[in-house]
A and B are shown apart, each in its own frame.
Chain A
Amino acid sequence: MALVAMFLLSCSSGKKPDEQAFEDSLDSTLNKGASIDEEVIGSILDQIPSPLEISVLLEKSGIKYNADLLNSPDNLPRYNSNYKMALNLGIYGTDLGYTNIYGQNQSGIKYLASIKSLANQLNIGQFFDIETIGRLATNSKNLDSLLLITTQNFNTINHYLQQQNRSNLSVLLLTGGWIEAMQITCQVAASNPSHSELREKIGEQKITLEQILLLFSFYEKDENMASLLKDLKELEAAFSKINITYTYNESSMEVVDGVAVIKDNSTSTIEITDEDVRNIMSKTNSIRNKIIS
């Protein structure tokens, strides 16, 4: 009951963002003819992998659920600017995916309420089918449908923001989601030092970070994004010693039950040291703490 009340309260607040500077600054940049190519930005945004992949990896690896890794949904009142709201919408989206994958439905409903509130304040709440998601979240048998509709809603929001020339918010949303997934992975890897796949997972984020930095380069004139870009460049430095080697070998395929099943003969190796992991974790936590504070 308390949860329902909290949910209704957060959904009906209708509070307007108290800071328009972020979008205003972008608008003024656009007016000055800065080259922000929405199509290019959209194609890069599309490349960013879903944080859900990390949560599924953790769950399938037998790693136990840990709510302490997540940003509390109770931190919602801290986020009053569009900049902070978009970043934390991404963070809560990752946290919701994590709770869903682990079947932590009660926690998921709390995250849902905070997500809906942030989405409403960013004027994208109409794309979040909170009623359906809330209903699905009450039964663990609905996991597939729950994951599907949540992913669809976030995809729709991202496409809508791009269509509305608000890709800056889409970039922040995806960056927040990525930082949270990074933070979770780093913390879990630190607690499970022998889990080589987690270490590799951290190392391979070098590729995604490069794409995120490319996205931020379009918004260097925005004060908030420039500040985050500076932090992300420091994170990039922590990744600098990581070596990713790719070897291409022709693949083969066979048709099984109407599906072309590929046998991938290419390989990639990731060289990452304990020190690299420590440096990446430290910088990731620092960035994440600035975002959620």
Chain B
Amino acid sequence: MVGQCDADNLSNACIPKLTSGFNFLKSYKIDGLGGAKDKVEYSYVFTKGTQYMINLCAGGNGPDGLVVSLYDSQRNKVASSKVNDQFISAIAYPCNATGIYYIQYTFDGSATYCGGSALGFKR
């Protein structure tokens, strides 16, 4: 029995965890419906010259197998929070090319398939 996913609270909890200097833009709910969904995806227009940060919150310590990956409009992968088999809780992306980007959340050994995320920016 998988517990209810309180992605709303987790996404709100992620907002103050954006590194100082980043302005909050969006919070994202990540609900994998107990494993029924293998990914959750959002999109946003990132602009050249702006640095973005996307973080992850899963309730406990660390991202609990949540991975955020960034794809450009042609679906080329430009960033991931899984680096050398290590799960990182935040990515910083200094954008060098304006366009629509896909922010994709996946579950890699996650126990809860549940989390939240926040997007911020700075110049």
* A259-B91 in contact given A211-B45, A266-B97 (Cβ < 8 Å): yes
Query: How many Å lie between the Cα of A278 and that of B50 in the bound state?
Result: 25
Interface of chain A residues 32 through 53 with chain B (CB within 8 A): 43, 46-50, 52-53
Query: How many Å lie between the Cα of A201 and that of B47 in the bound state?
Result: 8
Contact (Cβ within 8 A) B43 A264: no
The interface stretch among A14-22, A144-152, A219-227 is A144-152
* A47-B23 in contact given A255-B83, A264-B97, A268-B99 (Cβ < 8 Å): no
Which chain A residue lies CB-closest to B84? A255
Range class of the B interface residue count: 35 or more
Contact (Cβ within 8 A) B53 A207: no
* A268-B96 in contact given A49-B47, A56-B23, A253-B79 (Cβ < 8 Å): yes
Which chain A residue lies CB-closest to B41? A43
What is the number of residues of chain A that contact chain B, defined by CB distance less than 8 Å? Answer: 45
Render B89-123 as a binary contact track against A, CB cut-off 8 A, 1 for contact: 11111111111100000000000000000000111
Query: How many Å lie between the Cα of A200 and that of B47 in the bound state?
Result: 10
| A270 CB–B CB distance under 8 Å | yes
A residues sitting closer than 8 Å to B (CB atoms) are 43, 46-50, 52-53, 56-57, 60, 144, 147-148, 151-152, 155, 197, 200-201, 204, 207-208, 211, 244, 246-248, 250-251, 253, 255-256, 258-268, 270
6 nearest A-B pairs in the assembled complex, by CB-CB distance: A268-B97, A264-B96, A266-B97, A204-B98, A260-B91, A260-B88
16 additional A-B residue pairs with CB within 8 Å, beyond A50-B121, A246-B74, A253-B79: A43-B42, A48-B45, A57-B50, A147-B24, A148-B23, A152-B24, A197-B49, A211-B100, A253-B83, A255-B88, A258-B88, A260-B88, A266-B78, A266-B96, A268-B48, A268-B97
